[in-house]
Amino acid sequence: MIIVTGAAGFIGSNIVHGLNQRGETDILAVDELSDGVKFRNLADLQIADYMDRDEFLDAVLAGEDFSKVQAVLHQGACSTTTEWDGRYMMRNNYSYSKHLLHWCLERGVPYIYASSASVYGPGPVFKEGLENERPINVYAYSKFQFDQYVRRLGQIKSQVVGLRYFNVYGPREAHKGSMASVAYHFDQQIRETGECRLFEGCDGYGNGEQRRDFIYVGDAAAVNLWFLDNPDKSGIFNLGTGRSQSFNDVANAVVDWHGKGSLKYVPFPEHLKGSYQSFTEADMSALREIGYDAPFKTVEEGVKVYLDELHG
């Protein structure tokens, strides 16, 4: 059995989809469905069982072994970067991750978990290393602190992998609302108003020229599955493309797909000043050096695949 937490979420459901494509259906899906619309992300997938997040955590704390667990892919977290309730964030993202980590270590079960590029704050260097890490919101801090906890463990016998996701976009993200990718929002805006709305310039960047490392969710899921196939590989790794592109690039890719639309620039929000990443670009050397050699889609390639599926 493979356990996937956050299985009804964006990346988690794409991992389950990737497992299904490999013929793997012995999957325990763990999530919290108070937001019931997330069920849609699992409705077309094959799983062996479903458990509520709290029920699952209680079972972990009670020492339940479940059934011959092959690996745990821990994607469950509060991913709302604008959430400032630190107690809630640390309980959901830090303590939960620690409990599950120790459950895996005690049983020698591979543990692949979701970290975040937000740990780097404003950058400008996005390479795994404490000297480059400056979280600027409590979400980022929760991810940073868990990475630090893992580092302090030193050499361990079973696999532990942290993946620092950069800006992921693609199918099964609609439930995220305001936290869905800009590709999703630009598509909605084109269909509703014929305009993609982008921020005006900030931090020395021109209108819409802020740059992020945008990674297609299918590529992110593929890296998770590669680590399943390579249980001798451990560590904390960036997961982006290694190539930053502008928000204008994303908007233009959406406009090109629709064959219509224009770009409109709106004032930069006051509440985001000081807690916004105007530039990210993953240093992918660590992942490449351990043997991952598959290509990553460009924004133009990924947006086309995404919108083809979204509107197919």
What per-residue string of b and e applies to 214-251 under the rule 16 or more CB within 10 Å gives b? bbbbbbbbbbbbbbbeeeebbbbbbbbbbebbbbbbbb
- The packing angle between helices 182-193 and 299-310, to 10°, is 60
> Beta strand 49-52 with 71-74: parallel, antiparallel or unpaired?
unpaired
* CB atoms closer than 10 angstroms to residue 111: 25
Which tokens hold the place of 136?
């600027």
Phi then psi for residue 153, to 5 deg, are -70, -25
Phi/psi-derived region of residue 261, left when phi > 0, alpha when psi is between -120 and 50, beta in every other case: left
Q: Which residues are catalytic?
A: 139, 176
Which tokens hold the place of 74?
């821990």
| Bridge partners, residue 162, by sequence | 113, 236
* CB atoms closer than 10 angstroms to residue 273: 10
Q: Can you give the length of the chain in residues? A: 312
In sequence order, what DSSP letters do the residues of 202-227 get, joined into one string? -TT--TT--EE-EEEHHHHHHHHHHH
Q: How far is CA 166 from the centre of its chain?
A: 7
CA-closest candidate to residue 218, choices 303, 277, 143, 160: 303
* CB atoms closer than 10 angstroms to residue 284: 21
| Bridge partners, residue 245, by sequence | 212
